[in-house]
Amino acid sequence: MYPNSYFMSANNGYGGPSGYYNLSPLDYAKTVRMANALVDPHLQDATGPKRKIPSDLHELKETVEITSNELLFDVEIGRGAYGTVYKARWCGHEVACKKFAKEDIDSVKAMQFLKELQTSTEAFIHPNIIRYYGFCQTPFCLVMEYMEGGSVQEYLRHDKPQSIQISPLQRIMIARQAALGINHLHKHNIVHRDIAARNLLMDDPKSNKDFRVVVSDFCMSRILHEEPYSATYTTVGPLKWMAPEALNEQKFTTKSDVYSFGITLWELLTGQEPYADVDPVNTAVEVLVSKKRPKLYGTIHSKLQKLMKHCWDEDPAARPDFPEIIQILDNFIEKAAKQQKKRRNSSESDNDD
């Protein structure tokens, strides 16, 4: 028996103890830590480095390397060509965690990107860009902020309940927030390459607060092997959002992002998938050969139609840049808000009569 020892009983799973154990103070402390870790795996061993995490993760000053036992995975919330996204907990905080298949990862590119995350913090921090908090090397995953509302794409379908449908003006506000995020990436020489409604995430639109939209998945081209990444782009949906020069020459620039944004704006305003009646490969052929573009409906405001046409111009040099796009959307939102207020005041005046 140890001096100042502790007795501990272990439950056999059927309501009774399977045995009693005499433990030294050191062994007792280790056992308690292990038991706590089973309940809350983000708790660290007292002998390891202490993780100092602010109560608000947005105050985190750097992107940190995380060990797998710090993450407590919950439910799967998304699955795509590049990986699976889980809701998870890290150091007591709710986060999203994107896991990648080992064979898809280009280790050299991935390490370069992770180094950028850690050293070029300013480039990856903006209210309209998904915030990366950390990364885990085994298994390879990125730990990021959890956006409760999920993908904007889910709210565009007309079969959604009325309570969570997004108004026309809100859709334009979503486009503006996305443009702000993409513009920030471009300022830091980062080309997104996959702009679409599915890669815009949002807060819960049912909440009373003004919802926030963030651009996600801008790092995919920077950590994946070129072969599967390129294959994805030539066999599945993203083809429908790609600029002609990207389809023809695999040339991705800030101007090809502008083209994709124009298609995404159409997607937001119509609630439809672009070229829904045509498969991706035939769409690409028609875009290149016949200069096909999405149909512009009369219900779309003429100024927004004009903006979309400029965004998806065949000539990349003729397309606007994002500061110009933001200015156009700002002006449109301001005028629309004034008109709404005027109509509301007029309606209240009529009711008073």
Known binding residues are 98
Per the DSSP assignment, residues forming a β-bridge with 79 are 84
- Burial of 73 from C-beta contacts in 10 A (0-12 / 13-18 / 19+): middle
What distance in Å separates the CA atoms of residue 251 and residue 146, rounded to the nearest whole number?
A: 32
Residues 6+ apart with CB under 8 A from 273: 237, 240, 267
Q: Could you tell me if 95 and 88 are in contact, meaning their C-beta atoms sit under 8 angstroms apart?
A: yes
Q: Count CB atoms within 10 A of the CB of residue 97.
A: 28
Q: Could you tell me if 71 and 90 are in contact, meaning their C-beta atoms sit under 8 angstroms apart?
A: yes
The radius of gyration of the chain's CA atoms, rounded to the nearest angstrom, is 25
Which residue is associated with the tokens 């949906």? Answer: 237
Catalytic residues: 194
Q: Which residues are annotated as a binding site for ATP?
A: 98
The pair of structure tokens assigned to 277 is 């009646």
What distance in Å separates the CA atoms of residue 47 and residue 121, rounded to the nearest whole number?
A: 29
Distance in angstroms between the alpha carbons of the first and the last residue of the chain = 91
